[in-house]
Chain A
Amino acid sequence: MIPPPFEYLSPNQLSEAISLLQKHGEDAKILAGGHSLIPAMKLRFALPEYLIDIGGIEGMDYLREEGGQLRIGAMTRESSLEDSELISKKYPLLLDTVKMIADPQVRNMATVGGNLAHGDPANDHPATMIALRASVFAEGPNGSREIRIDDFFPDFFTTALDTNEILTEIRISSPPPKSGGAYLKIERKVGDYATAAVACQLNLNTSGSIEQIGIGLTNVGPTPIRATSAENLLRGKSPSDDLIKEAGLLAAGDSDPSDDLRGSAEYKKDLLCELTQRAIRISIERSERSG
């Protein structure tokens, strides 16, 4: 399948890329890793007249901790998270997630920024970032602004980015001591999007109660979903089997799946109930083992 024709633009500076977005408006699209966009163009789901390739802009591909935060440059490839010692030591939720995204070759191209900016509720990073209470930074003609992850996905395949804005960075607070997280995804085969998936991140206080908790759900609604009622149930509590079970049921209740080729809505709710319980248990185990 040959993609439709387009004009290719390759700015060297972020400011130049923003000017190009201003000039071409709705006719232009940013090209990052291209692994959502090029397949969509082949199928004529996307017909941009201009592609603005941000792959040549220096300084958008990085992964570092700074000022108590993890900073991920938008052009960081998924495979860089997978290979990072920092991620495997301190961010088990991100490591779990990246291993479930697509396949090794796709992860060598796909970017973390693109995974969020695509606005696809089936993508895996949105739920992870919800669980981690991330912030997204966007740069436009009027400078940079911070967008809370809860405000980033207003609707189906829609993000809070303006047409003139480029996602530049994702920030996550470094986890406090006794933190852990996990991502559990059911997929039909490698490279498939989730039938359902659950991201959990939590930390325990000195008496073993859950202090902070985030739970994000993948592909069970028009947008990625925060399982607010499950979080509220667990926050401040000492986790018991009954409580965790109840949280699973509440997370399923927070979801809004539909019937499709991957399964019925009822089946997906059942999956969520179970996956949520497992994700919470693994997160607690990992918290107990962490420093």
Chain B
Amino acid sequence: MSKHTVTIEINGSSFTREVDSRLLLVHFIREDLQMTGTHIGCDTTHCGACTVLMDGRSIKSCTLFTIQANGKSLTTIEGLESGGKLHPLQEGFHEEHGLQCGFCTPGMIMRAVELLGKNPNPTEDEIRTGISGNLCRCTGYVNIVKSVQYAAEKMKAEVA
């Protein structure tokens, strides 16, 4: 098995590490870097709990080798708040009770970051299709949709 040196930017900091070729990105993030906000739910590319942004696009980090992220820039849930202030999506999930156990939340939020970046004015339908790769076993999604709507409003107000 080959070992490789990778340099990956995560939440604005650069990390250089030696990794096995088969090391999955989610294990690199959680175990090598001890950033445990990104979760592993299914490990089979279905649940979305492991979603992070790679060069701005949401991906499932359980289905990518760390080496494939070499030279790329990642954002995880830990990178969203700035200066002690929650990201509008984090605030939205808090205000609208968008979580119960919270296991799916980091993935939901990271997915919604890309969704709102592409479509700042999503309809309920567009939000539901937009998060269709993320499973929640608790909420029934109603409050998750509201949380994303809350964030969309807030982000529009911030831009205006």
Contact = CB atoms under 8 A, between A and B. Distances in A.
Interface residues of A, number: 29
Contacts of B51: 105
The SS class assigned to the B binding surface is: mixed
Contacts of B111: 104-105
A103 B21 contact: no
B58 A108 contact: yes
Interface stretch (A34-42, A136-144, A158-166): A34-42
Nearest to B133: A103
A3 B48 contact: no
B65 interface: yes
Contact of B45 (A2, A10, A35): A35
A79 B57 contact: yes
A23 B128 CA distance: 47
A38 B130 contact: no
A105 B24 contact: no
CB-based closest 10 A-B pairs = A103-B133, A5-B1, A8-B21, A190-B132, A108-B57, A7-B2, A105-B133, A3-B22, A105-B60, A105-B58
Interface of B: 1-2, 4, 20-22, 24, 27, 43-46, 48, 51, 57-60, 63-65, 67-68, 111, 114-115, 118, 129-130, 132-133
9 contacts: A6-B22, A51-B21, A102-B133, A103-B48, A105-B58, A105-B59, A109-B59, A109-B60, A109-B64
Given A38-B65, A109-B64, 19 more contacts: A1-B43, A5-B20, A6-B1, A6-B2, A7-B1, A8-B65, A34-B68, A39-B44, A51-B21, A102-B133, A104-B58, A105-B58, A105-B59, A106-B60, A108-B57, A108-B58, A109-B59, A190-B132, A191-B46
